[in-house]
Amino acid sequence: MEVEYVALSKSCRDLFPLIDITKELCKIFKIDLRKEIDMHIKIHEDNVGTLILGKLEPRRMTPCSKHYTIKYHWFWEHIGPRNIQLVKINTEDQLGDLFTKGLSWIIFTRLQKKLMGW
């Protein structure tokens, strides 16, 4: 769970500046992004423990997560105001596993085809 949580925190660290840049470009080019239909961003996660910990109210920790440092908990404050949803995805459908795990040939080719849209 800890590794997945750290990966979620680091992906948010890369994602938030992209959201800010997109909003700035929309202001510059006078593209109207209304608050109600702002960007709809979903982060797919296959680890249930990470999802539960990521959806807890700010500044709450579980006994297993007390040792995580503040640098991994910072993204909690940004999830709600930026309209980001943490969504459960089945482990067999997680495309990120294609790049991070040693998969069997059958699973690798299935995920590869799904990634390419075949």
State pLDDT tens for residues 20-51. 888 888 888 877 766 544 678 899 888 888 88
Q: Which amino acid is at 117?
A: G
Give me the mean pLDDT over the 39-65 stretch. Answer: 78
Q: Is the pLDDT of residue 54 over 90?
A: no
Gap between the Cα atoms of 97 and 40, Å rounded? 23
Query: What mean pLDDT, rounded, does the chain reach?
Result: 82
Q: How many helices (H) and strands (E) does the chain have?
A: 6, 2
Provide the greatest CA pair distance for the chain.
Answer: 49
State pLDDT tens for residues 75-118. 877 887 888 889 999 988 888 888 888 899 999 999 999 999 88
